[in-house]
Structures are given as structure tokens and as C-alpha cells.
Chain A
Amino acid sequence: MKRRAVLKGAVAGAAALAMPHVARAQGRAKLGFLTWNIADQEALFKEEIAEFQQTHKDVEIEWLDKKGTELPAFYQTQLVAGTAPDIVDLQGAIWVEYAAGGALLDLSPYLAKEPEVAKLYNGDYLSTWRYEGKTYLLPFYISKTLLYYNKTMFKEAGLGAPPTSFDELLAFSAKMAKGEKTGFLTLNFDWLYWPLFKMNGVELLSPDLKKPAFNTPQAAEVLEKLAKATDGGAINKISWTGRWVEPNGAFAGDTVGMFHAHSSAYFFVKGQGRWINPDTLGATQLPGYWATPTNHGFAISKSCKHPELAWEFIKLLTGNKWATEFARRRKLLTGTVEADRAELATIAKEDPLGAAVLQTQLEHTDKFTGNWPLPYDAQLKDVFWPEIQNAVLGRKPAKTALADAERGVERLLRRRA
């Protein structure tokens, strides 16, 4: 036993001296490639890597995939250890924090050097990757919120067209709610619920993003209405407590009238809801056309030793050929104009409903909200959301909740100033 212990110690010591951990990354040019919970596309990535290696013989690419909630934990640990993957697929607003902290490579010079590259992508979506005038990611796949509605339930409630205003939204919901049935359901993570406030003219922060701007009579009114509707069963409680699976499952259960979610929800819901077809499910914009994007994009870590190679690689990933291929396999939009045009054309034939859903993603792309470029977005959410939850679930009067939230946000902004 002792001998083993001694040996172990010696080996470990030797290893520590012989190869500091960064050494692993060196040798023949090697790129780490980390994706965000999309292991099902392993085949695609393997093909893309293979093609890349045809033109870059001596490059080795290590592909990793981590589950969404754990990817940040993994990436940050790797950052500390100095072994951050060179190319990372980031979602939502977390990239801003990394960008502001100097972990990500500014891609603007590259885009400036090769102006034709930027033209490949949908300008509005590309611009969501801009922080302080610099672009940090290229679009991998795109998605923004829209309003799904259950046509059958609309008929039963004697409703025709989808709502065109906030109050109509609530009124319709109330009409459809009875027993197990509820009228409206929204996703709530990553500010996906924010369009509900934006459409009522509520702003989260002052234009310079320095002060909270949400503690207004308007906001209070909206909150009160939402709380009332939730209490009355018009709005499904899961809106404020569920994350991804519960809301989708509930809507797929054919007991919810309207579902405010992004396009990714469509295939998830379709997979579960036998009832879903063009006559029973409608897809449209939320009143006011506001929508919160939740896009995935490829960034390059600053610690990358071969930024040119990494840049070449993400150009390949997001370029027309592979974006088209990816769009086809995953039936989604990539933000690469050509690919999306092709995909919309193809899917229109095999799944008109899916096409209708995807179509909404390219409309009103000038009305994004809930995607403020804040380096401390996560903390802001963490301060803000629980208070909103308190209000809509009727645990606090709207005004108190907003006041408390404001205090929290002010404190946060002060600390981060």
C-alpha cells in the first residue's frame, strides 16, 4: 500500500513538473470546439471537421458538447485553467459577460477584412452579437419568440383571429379558461416573457442602461393584470414556474389556448401533441410584434492560439453549404440568408405549419427586446425575476415587488458601476 502511495506521489509530482496542464493543448495545431447541448448533430460536426481538415491537413479538432445549464460552469473552469475551448457555442446573453471580461476574441477586424462574410448573415440577427460596437459571434442558429395558438380551443370559445392587443390577449385567455384548460402560457427564462411588458411600453432600464426604468404605474398595472389572470386561471401558472419541458408539455397536452415561446418549441411540442396539424395550431406574432431572441452563435476564445484557423473554421460552420445542411437536418433557421431561404422553400413542401413557424422568425426582426447587451445580465435576471414571480403569483402587491426589484437592481448597477 505504502509503496503504491509513494509511487503515486512520485508519478504525480513528475507529471506536474514534466507537463504543466497547458502542454496538453500544444503540439500539432489543435482546436477545441465546444457546443451547447446539441449532441444529436454529432454526425454533422464530424463531417464539417473532416471537410475542414481536407484544406487544413495538420489541424486537429476536438469536439465537445455540454448540457446547457452546465456549459458555463465547464467553460469558466476551463478559462481559469487556461484550457478554454477555442471555439464555443454560446446562447442568450452570457456571451456579453465573457466579451466584457475579455474572454472572447473581437471578430470585427476579421469581418472588416472580409466584408463579404458579414453579407452572408441576416443583418438584424448578426447585430444581436454586438457589444460596444464590436461583434463577438457569428450566428449558429436563430430563434425568437412568437405566439402559438390552439385553433380548436379558439373555435370552442367562439374566437376567430389571434389577439391584437395585451387586453385582448387577456380577454381571450379568460374566455378559453375552464377546468383543466387555461388560456395563455409563456416561457419565462432568458427574458422570454419580456415582450409582454414591452408591448405595454415598459422599459427595463434607462436608454444608457445605467438606471432601472421599470418601476412605473404602467408596469404595476401590467403586473396586476397578469397576477389577476394567473389567479383566475386564464394564465397558466407554469408560465411563472416552469422552465422548458413543463410549459411545452402543458401546451402539447391540448389544454392551453395560447403559447408564447420561441420557434425551437415547435418541434418539441409537435413531438408530443398528436393533435397538432395546420388546422389545429396557428403561429403568429405577439401583439405589438415584439419578440425576444434566443440565438446561438460561435465565439472564439481569446486564449485561442490559432485565431486564424478558428476563424476559418467558424466561417465554414456558418457558411452557406453547412448552414444549409444544418438547417435541413435540424429544421431550423441559421441566420445565414441563403441557408434559411433554401430551408423555408424545402420545409414549405413537407411541413407547411413548420414553415409558417419559421417564417415568423424572419419577420419584424427590427423589434427585438429583452436582449440588452449587459455584462451582468445573469445577475440582473437573478435580482429581477424572483420579484416578478412574487408579483404574478400573488405573493406580493405589484407595487411592492417592483419597488423591491428596483432596490435590488439599483444596488446591482451601483456595484457594477
Chain B
Amino acid sequence: MDRGARWPIHLALVAVSVAMLVPFYWVLKTSVSGDNIFAYPPSVIPRAPHPFYYVDVWYYIPFARYFLNSVAVSAIAVVANVGLNAMAGYALTRGFAGKSIVLLLFLSCMMVPFQATIIPAYLITGRLGLLDSYLGLALPQCSTIVCIFVFKASFEAVPSSLVDAARIDGLSEFGIIWRVMMPLAKAAVATNVILSFIWSWNNFLWPLIVTRSADMQTLPLGLARFLSYQEDTTGALYAFCVMVLAPGILLFLLAQKQFIQGLAAGATKA
């Protein structure tokens, strides 16, 4: 692959990159210029860009409040995911009776369509008395199968000699997880953080059902309200999109190196 002329490769990749980036540009452009969606032809360069659509969004819903809620819920989900998944992942690296059943259970759990489980999930959450609470919002996503496997894979990559040595040093299992495994599984942690963050940050249907009070709403709900209600103000709608997407993208850009490693590990370290 790496022999011969490079420019065709660059050409192809640049073309693809453009294709991938155009939607981003288009949203940004509309969010600052808001050329009316019913104007044709669309202008490629924003006419008279201004930040006021962002101001409108900020005041249209209690943005700070919704943002805070989203952050709180995501934070819970992320912490819980890293913790619980690491534990489960470690457990799965060990042989024990009923392991294959657990694995089967996990795998099949991946395939339950959440849309079909809302009502029972709601009733259960109600039973736990967690309705309209951050924990209730986060709980269904406090452990995710894919992430467990990411941990499992990267733990398996840890040479067993290390583990044995640690055990001989008299480390408790938790000590082993925390002091031997985790430092070697930074990538898996990053993957867990990002995936669980993205998933809980983007979650839409569950918050919709579980939140009652106005000040427990999360950002996707605000976005949905925009969609249904303020849809004519396209500029503001796309400004909202940017404001909602930014945190996820930022986090990804910050941690992408480890994230991609971890994903890769979970994916192919078979």
C-alpha cells in the first residue's frame, strides 16, 4: 500500500473528508446566517453572519438548566459505566460456572429494542421511586454490554503473569482491578467514558417518559420541542443542534486517541 504515488490517496481522502464535513459546515452556516430554509438557491457562504440565533436558543428554553440536567445524568452514567463495566469485564475474564450463560444473556440483552420496553421500564423505575430523578434517568444506561466487552478484551490483553504476581503480592481482587488492570486499560476507560457519555447524552425517548417536572428536562427534549414548535426559525433550530452536539464532539476530540485504541481492542483483540 505505502509504495508509489501518494497524491491519489490524498485526493480520495480529501474528497471523502469533504463529503463527511459538508453537513457540519451547512449546519454551522445556517446557525449563524439562518438563510431562510425556503430561499432558493441556498447561499454557500453565510450572508451577514450573526450570533443571535444562539442567543434566542439560550432564552427560548432554560438552556443552562437543561444543560445541567444532561450533564448530571451523563456524569452518573459515565461513572457507573466505568465502574460497573470494569467489574463485570474483569469477572468475564475469569472462568466460572455459568459463564457462557451470562455471556449469552449479555449478548441477547443487546438486542432488546428499548422502544418496546418503555412501559415496563417506567413501571420498574416507578417502583424504585426514581421517577423524575437523575438516577432514574441514568439507571437504564448505567451498564452497557458493548462497553463490558471492551473492558473484557483489554483485560484479557493483560499478561496473566502480571496478575499472578500481584496476587502473590497479596493484592485483593479489587486491588488487582484497580492497580494492575485499570492502569493498563486506559484506552478501554476512554472508550467507556465516551460511548456511555454519547449514549446517555443523546438519549431521547427515556427522558421524555421519565421526566415530569419542567426543570428535569434534558437537552434532547428541548431539541424535540424546537422541532415541533419553533420549527420555522430554522436558524435557531440549527444553532440548537450545534449547541447540543458540541459537548459530545469536544469530548471525542479530547479523548479520541485512547477512545479509538479502546474501541479497536474491544473490537479485534479476539
- Residue ranges of A at the interface with B (Cβ–Cβ < 8 Å): 1-2, 4-5, 12, 15-16, 18-21, 24, 37, 39-40, 62-70, 73-74, 77, 80-81, 83, 244-245, 248-250, 252-253, 268, 271-272
Contact = CB atoms under 8 A, between A and B. Distances in A.
User: Which 3 A-B pairs have CB atoms at the shortest separation, nearest pair first?
Assistant: A15-B129, A21-B126, A67-B228
Given A15-B128, A21-B131, A249-B37, A77 B228 contact: no
Contact of A272 (B38, B84, B228): B38
B232 A268 contact: yes
A328 to B, nearest CB: 20
B164 interface: no
Contact of A69 (B127, B131, B228): B228
B126 A81 contact: yes
B174 A249 contact: no
Contacts of A12: 128-130
A21 B210 CA distance: 13
26 contacts: A1-B83, A1-B84, A12-B129, A12-B130, A15-B128, A15-B130, A16-B128, A18-B129, A20-B127, A21-B127, A37-B225, A39-B225, A39-B229, A64-B212, A65-B214, A67-B224, A67-B228, A67-B229, A73-B208, A73-B209, A74-B208, A80-B122, A244-B231, A253-B38, A271-B232, A272-B38
A266 to B, nearest CB: 13
Contacts of B229: 37, 39-40, 67
A19 B129 contact: yes
A320 B201 CA distance: 45
B87 interface: yes
Contacts of A39: 225, 229
Nearest to B142: A8
A62 to B, nearest CB: 7
B36 interface: yes
Given A1-B87, A21-B129, A70-B208, A80 B225 contact: no
Q: Which of B118, B212, B213 has the most CB of A within 10 A?
A: B212
B105 interface: no
Interface in B216-257: 224-225, 227-229, 231-232
B232 A245 contact: yes
A401 B229 CA distance: 34
Nearest to A16: B127
B231 A245 contact: yes
A99 B231 CA distance: 32
Interface string B1-43: 0000000000000000000000000000000000011100000
B193 to A, nearest CB: 16
A253 B118 CA distance: 40
A181 B122 CA distance: 49
Interface in B62-105: 83-84, 87
A16 B129 contact: yes
Contacts of A24: 131
Given A63-B214, A77-B119, 17 more contacts: A2-B174, A12-B129, A15-B129, A15-B130, A19-B129, A20-B127, A21-B126, A62-B212, A64-B214, A66-B208, A67-B228, A68-B228, A70-B208, A73-B208, A74-B208, A252-B38, A272-B38
B55 interface: no
A64 B37 CA distance: 31
